[in-house]
Structures are given as C-alpha cells and as structure tokens.
Structure 1
C-alpha cells in the first residue's frame, strides 16, 4: 500500500503544532480523503509504481489537506487535542513509556489514535499492544460509549460552501 502523505503547503504553520495534533490532523485526512475529494470535486491522487524501487506511490490529484481547514476547525482541533492530552496525561505518558507492540509508540501515533478511536475506525489506542493502557485511552475517547454527552464525541468532516474543511 502506498504511503499517505498529507497535503501541506504552509509547512511552517503545520510544524508549529505539537506532534499529537499533527498526528490527529494527518489521520483525519487519511480516513476522509476520498469523501472530501468527492464533496469538493477535487481529483484523488492515483497510485503508480516507482520502477526504480518497485514501491507504490501516490501521483497527481489535489486532495484537501491542512491548508484547507477552516480557521475555526483548526482551533477546535487544537483545543480537543490539548484537552485530551491534559486530561489523560498520565495514561499517555504510560503509553509512551510502554512503547506498544513495536516499542516506539509516540505522541504523533497517539494523535492518530485519538482520531481513529473517537470515530470508531476499527483501529486505535486499543490496537497498539498497550494492554490496559490502550483500553483506558480508547474508553476515554468514548470507544465503548457513543453517548453524545461524552467529552470527545465522534466528529465528521465535510466541505463547507466556502470550500474549507469543517468538523460536525
């Protein structure tokens, strides 16, 4: 499978975000790229084989990315990521110390897992070899309880009338 590369033009602005938040944003666009392309009439990248390495890679296309986030959406993402990290700092620290199944679990991967877990993507904190720590982090995302009053409910992305990406 080709590696997903987030579309980012303003790399300096993206790099100013903490690794957890960058991971969260990357996971958002990874899971929702096709839907967002369909909504915006943008072309999805296609897969080609690099004949030098025989590795698949994405080519062409103009899928939505970081620069397409509405300012209020980016602010909400930052606030959610900060809140989750603050409230669950002890669990996240334990996950980083544990290292997971590959021994290198970090804050960027945790940001990915926050998006995946809160949105029920079938992968997330619970699936990283973190044991009870992963289960506790998944539960903190509402993994087992889809109650709308949960502090970190599911989010759906969509393209607004202005062409920007929003979360509902």
Structure 2
C-alpha cells in the first residue's frame, strides 16, 4: 500500500515550512515541492511510503486528529512524521494522537532519524 497523497504532500510541505536557509528564512517562503531535487524528493517519498505502510492502522485509528487544512488524519500524520523524526518539539507525542497509537507512531518516526534540508548552489532543495 502506498501512502496517500495527503500524507506525502503534508510531509513535504512541513519539511519546507520547518526548515530554514542560511539567513534563517523558512524555505517555504521561497520554495515549494517542485523545487526539491528529484533524487531528494524520491528518497523523501520513499520514507513516507515505508512509514505509512508500516503504520497505516495507527494513522487511521479511531480518534486520530485531522489536519486543519482538510487533508484529514493522513495530512496530520504526514505533518507529524516530519516533525517527530526531526525532533522539532511537536509531533505524534504532543497529545493530539490517542494512546497507544501516539507512542507507536512516535517510536516509528524517530527510528527514521533526522533529516536536514538545505539549498544547493543550483537553487534546488536537498537533504
């Protein structure tokens, strides 16, 4: 099963929103998903599919929070996957997800490790 687009797009957009350039400006102020290097984006999407496939039942659990942008629990999970894996101080563990799913999703996301985005000399976003 592949991750739904709501999950993937939320993950990518959250990555840009929470990452900054060398001047401290959020990447989403100047870049969107189309600016992510194709190889970087492919790896990011592969992580999304792997995480979603392994955790779909927890993501779609009864009581799962929904993103405020209309993307449902899949969108919220994509957002929280990025924040949790990168240690941004919010994510699956911060009280929105019901237990025991919050703990399961938190552990699974942290296992993917941190990712840092940066802007290359060619103006593309890389990890």
Map of 2:102 onto structure 1:
134
Identify which of 36, 56, 70 aligns with 2:37.
70
Tell which has more relative contact order, 1 or 2 (C-alpha 8 A, sep 6+).
Answer: 2
- In terms of fraction of residues, the more helix-rich structure is 2
Structure 1 gap segments, 5+ residues each: 1-16, 45-60, 143-149
Q: TM-score, normalised by structure 2?
A: 0.81
Q: TM-score, normalised by structure 1?
A: 0.62
Identify which of 16, 28, 40 aligns with 1:29.
16
Identify which of 86, 90, 104 aligns with 1:123.
90
Shift of 1:131: 2.4
- When the two structures are aligned, how many residues end up with a matched partner? 119
- In terms of fraction of residues, the more strand-rich structure is 1
Greater Rg over alpha carbons, structure: 1
What RMSD, in angstroms, separates the aligned Cα atoms of the two structures? 2.6
Distance 1:159 1:114 in 2: 22
Stretches (4+) displaced over 4 A: none
- Does the Cα contact within 8 Å between 1:23 and 1:112 map onto a contact in 2? yes
Shift of 1:163: 1.3
